[in-house]
Homo-oligomer: A and B are copies of this chain.
């Protein structure tokens, strides 16, 4: 049981964490801060936070657990603003989708105090961002990746593990660069492709007609193109190298399929599509929580 949760960034992720912690009875009160005062106000009105703080530092003051849920490029300035209150008596976590850059930012902002910061990435989200879409169940049944460093306080890593587990999530540990490579592949690139695809449709003269004819396949394929621009700007830029490398692989696979289409080779095209279709049909979100192989298992 924590006494006070400080949430810095009261959006979908931060707000959902606050609601989940309350529902699980893990925290007595929640204090929140957002850069935009109207967001903080709304979070308070919705009962997501109990107290609105006027600064990030004030959201940390008196808290024994702090969640930083801001776009990753704001991590460093946020940590700088609160650094004087960062100490091993308090669990600091983030929810950023990239981890190498967040860890670098923490080292720069906090120096030795970075030991109190446990880098986290919950694999959860929704089509619509914002505190109004926050839900106590957002992290339930999801995976949360921790990327602790050798210098990270081991007790705080354990506490972070316990907290996410208590919210119904499965906790994994990975090395930051393995994390970033994996999520470039399965999350960041799909977002980039969905953005590019929606843009390509939207800029055509017949876009309005086309969009009115689109069905459930289109809906699901483009859902992530509604991602928050500031969040995805940061992710795509901070994980640039891995994202562009994954894009190259994708383009090669697209080239290969298009060559078969161009050639009108029905048998080869079907032979190429079959393992893809079967592979995707066999995949499901409920795959084993602990990935075998490379990533450091918990």
Residues of A within 8 A of B (CB): 73, 123-125, 127-128, 142-143, 145, 172, 181-183, 185-187, 189-204, 206, 208-230, 232-234, 236-237, 240, 243-244, 246-247, 249-254, 256-258, 261-262, 264, 266, 269-270, 272-277, 279-281, 283-285, 287-295
A183 (CB) vs chain B CBs: closest residue: B213
Given contacts A185-B201, A192-B258, 19 further A-B contacts (CB under 8 A): A73-B266, A125-B217, A142-B215, A143-B213, A185-B206, A186-B215, A193-B193, A196-B250, A197-B253, A202-B279, A203-B249, A204-B249, A216-B285, A220-B223, A221-B221, A225-B276, A226-B280, A232-B273, A244-B262
A219 (CB) vs chain B CBs: closest residue: B285
**Smallest CB–CB gap between A3 and chain B, Å?**
32
A182 partner, pick from B203, B209, B279, beta carbons under 8 A:
B209
Known: A221-B194, A237-B266, A279-B198. Contact between A213 and B250, CB under 8 A?
Answer: no
**Smallest CB–CB gap between A61 and chain B, Å?**
31
Q: Which residues of B contact A127 (CB under 8 A)?
A: 281
Q: Which residues of B contact A196 (CB under 8 A)?
A: 250, 253-254, 256-257
A201 (CB) vs chain B CBs: closest residue: B185
Provide the bound-state CA to CA distance between A143 and B217, in Å. 13
Q: List 14 A-B contacts (CB under 8 A).
A: A123-B213, A125-B215, A125-B216, A128-B281, A181-B206, A187-B218, A197-B253, A202-B275, A203-B253, A214-B285, A219-B285, A226-B277, A227-B277, A247-B254
**Smallest CB–CB gap between A228 and chain B, Å?**
7
Known: A225-B277, A261-B236, A261-B243. Contact between A186 and B199, CB under 8 A?
Answer: no
B199 touches A217 (CB 8 A): no
Q: Which residues of B contact A201 (CB under 8 A)?
A: 185-186
A200 touches B246 (CB 8 A): yes
Known: A206-B181, A229-B274, A285-B215. Contact between A192 and B236, CB under 8 A?
Answer: no
Q: Which residues of B contact A199 (CB under 8 A)?
A: 253, 256-257, 272, 276
A217 partner, pick from B203, B224, B258, B274, beta carbons under 8 A:
B224
A220 touches B224 (CB 8 A): yes
Provide the bound-state CA to CA distance between A295 and B254, in Å. 30
B277 touches A264 (CB 8 A): no
B253 touches A200 (CB 8 A): yes
A229 partner, pick from B250, B262, B270, beta carbons under 8 A:
B270
Q: Which residues of B contact A279 (CB under 8 A)?
A: 198, 202
Provide the bound-state CA to CA distance between A251 and B29, in Å. 50
**Smallest CB–CB gap between A33 and chain B, Å?**
23
Provide the bound-state CA to CA distance between A264 and B101, in Å. 14
Provide the bound-state CA to CA distance between A284 and B220, in Å. 11
A255 (CB) vs chain B CBs: closest residue: B196
**Smallest CB–CB gap between A165 and chain B, Å?**
18
